[in-house]
Amino acid sequence: MAENSESAFPEGFLWGGATAANQIEGAYNEGGRGLATSDFARWVPKEQRISGKATSWATYEMLDDMMAHPENYNFPKRRGIDFYHRYEEQLEALAGMGFTVFRTSISWSRIFPNGDDAEPNEEGLAFYDKVFDKCLELGMQPMVTLCHFDTPLHLATEYQGFLSRHTVDSFVRYAETVFTRYKDKVKYWLTFNEINSSLGNPYTCSGLVLHDDGTPNPYKEQWQAKYQCAHNQFVASALAVKKCHEIIPDAKIGNMTCRLENYAETSKPEDELQVLFEDHFNWFYSDVQAKGEYPYYMNRFFNDYGIKIQMEPGDEEILKEGTVDFLSISYYMTYIMRYKGSPVPKPNGSLVTDIKNQYLEVSEWGWPIDPIGFRITLNHIYDRYHLPIFIAENGLGAVDKVEADGTINDDYRIAYLQKHVEQLGEAIKDGVDVFGYAWWGPIDLISSGTSEMTKRYGFVYVDQDDFGNGTLALSKKKSYDYYKKVIASNGADLSID
Ligand code: BGP
């Protein structure tokens, strides 16, 4: 795209970045905070990671061992990047790029240490007052996710997370508390991060703890429990939407799904049928949250697999009344589908497809890089819902090299950003209503899936390794000035020097 060409992006388009409390804050046992499921996400050497499985899941047996022998484990999310103490300096670094939006989440167990305490923790509430005040002072709208992969541990171990309606009630009370407290400061909210990952990562996404059944992945087939969790999260989300509208009438509240765009491996109709099946498993979540009812296509799957969703009286009305104002997505990659003979979704929660797309490069973590897929998926979403869309995450995790003179020449990140923003602009020209773009991890943080620091997404480098060694000093990567230029030109100038 030529310099000074007219911008595809509307005036007031929100530019910025996204983070999550459990990946940045650290201070896991300070300020009255209670334990969360994410505090048991451990670092393990790459070769010991179970194939395709994140290091952030846990069974009752694993939790028992981690609690009895914490000295045997490295829990990087307990450290984060020490945002809890360094938020001012870190937010200033982000604002230096001209951000107008900063997405983060509230750690539920900072507000209610057990998730269901009688009173909220004032120290936790006061911390977010300071964070949001600082954002606003720096010209950044906070966009806040209520629950980003960190259910309070007590609710997970005692109630199996969102399998229980007690967790739904606790969530709604927590949501009401933070809406009331921050009503003058936060006008953009999201309910659950990547709610559709509850199928693959039920511990992370729904706080669902199960017993080890002796297989490498005991979560493999637990459809009944997982879909019941999803239902309870839909109800919790819808109730939060209603509360948000009541308490902050000028706020907008959205959902958040991990967008999984699929291509058929061949033109064989069976492969295309598999794409349809996979699409259904993914659209299911946004269909319920945006349309307020269960889609027709899930009935057959539920019947065939004996899944019975337990609804309480009034649930259907709650879903109808609690539809979201906008949709938000994370977009990282696209997938190839080959007919499997049945409509069973990918079981292991891995984002990485085992079928390689010969036309796409992959990241160092094997994630296919597909900017055109971004445009395609945005068109599909808008065509389906006709609701405004916010890009809650998009980015590239890579190993960055610090040169002897301290510079970090992350040209790969610049190229990724350029191509994705270009295709985002194309989608907007197509007529898709997108109102903001948040790069995932604009400051290096702890990886969600693998709990490592080595996988860096940031424009701002953080001096820390996987074991917490380092000064936590910040430095700008080459991509910092590039994103700054993109933002300053409202997406019109994507030229690379
Ligand atoms: C999404 C999560 C984020 C984030 C991102 C990148 O699934 O919402 O929390 O971390 O993926 O994943 P990872 O950190 O595993 O590279």
Q: For the segment 267-323, what is each residue's pLDDT rounded down to a tens digit? A: 999 999 989 988 999 999 999 999 999 999 999 989 988 899 999 999 999 999 999
- Ligand 1 close to Cβ of residue 414 (< 6 A): no
Maximum C-alpha span of the chain: 65
Q: Which of 175-189, 216-230, 284-298, 353-367 has the lowest mean pLDDT?
A: 216-230
Q: Is 258 in the pocket of ligand 1 (CB under 6 A)?
A: yes
Lowest mean pLDDT, pick from 35-39, 55-59, 239-243, 252-256: 55-59
How, if at all, do strands 141-147 and 101-105 pair?
Answer: parallel
Atom of ligand 1 nearest to the CA of 447: 14
* Shortest-distance Cα residue to atom 11 of ligand 1: 448
Q: C-alpha distances in angstroms, 65 versus 45, 46, 108, 158, 204?
A: 18, 21, 24, 17, 18
Of 261, 265, 278, 393, which residue is the catalytic one? 393
CB atoms inside a 10 Å sphere around CB 386: 10
330 pocket-lining for ligand 1 (C-beta < 6 Å): yes
Decide the pairing of beta strands 434-440 and 389-393: parallel
30 in active site:
no
- pLDDT interval class at 350 (50, 70, 90): very low
Q: Mean pLDDT for the chain?
A: 94
- Residue 329 CA to ligand 1 center (angstroms) comes to 12
Is 321 noted as a catalytic residue in this protein? Answer: no
Residue 218 forms part of a structural domain: yes
Question: Do the domain assignments include residue 494?
Answer: no
pLDDT in tens, 414-447: 999 999 999 999 999 999 999 999 999 999 999 9
- What distance in Å separates the CA atoms of residue 266 and residue 10, rounded to the nearest whole number? 38
pLDDT, one tens digit per residue, over 111-158 is 999 999 999 999 999 999 999 999 999 999 999 999 999 999 999 999
* Residue 343 confidence class, pLDDT cut points 50, 70, 90: low
Query: What is the whole-number distance in angstroms between the Cα of residue 299 and the centre of ligand 1?
Result: 31
Q: Is residue 457 part of a domain?
A: yes
Q: Which domain holds residue 373?
A: 14-488
Residue 250, pLDDT above cutoff 70: yes
Residue 406 has pLDDT above 90, yes or no: yes
Q: Are 37 and 150 in contact (CB under 8 A)?
A: yes
Q: Is residue 184 part of a domain?
A: yes
- pLDDT of 304: 87
For residue 24, being part of any structural domain is answered with yes
- Provide the domain count of the chain: 1
Q: Would you state the pLDDT for residue 57?
A: 84
Whether 8 maps to a domain, the answer reads: no
In which band, very low, low, confident or very high, does the pLDDT at 347 lie, cut at 50, 70 and 90? Answer: very low
Pocket of ligand 1 contains residue 194 by CB under 6 Å: yes
Confidence category of residue 217, pLDDT binned at 50, 70, 90: low
pLDDT at position 352 over 90: no
Q: Which residues contact 126 (CB under 8 A, 6 or more apart)?
A: none
Residue ID of nearest Cα to ligand 1 atom 5: 448
Q: Assign residue 80 the CATH number of its domain.
A: 3.20.20.80
Give me the percent of the chain exceeding a pLDDT of 90.
85
Q: How many CB atoms lie within 10 A of CB 228?
A: 22
- pTM comes to 0.96
Place of tokens 């019109």: 492
Check if 450 has its Cβ closer than 6 Å to any atom of ligand 1: yes
pLDDT (average), residues 27-35? 98
Work out which ligand 1 atom sits closest to the CA atom of 256. 8
d(CA 419, CA 427): 12
Predicted local distance difference test score (pLDDT) of residue 49: 78
Within-domain flag for 225: yes
Q: How far apart are CA 193 and CA 147, in angstroms?
A: 6
The residue nearest atom 2 of ligand 1, judged by CA position, is 448
Indicate whether 4 belongs to any domain. no
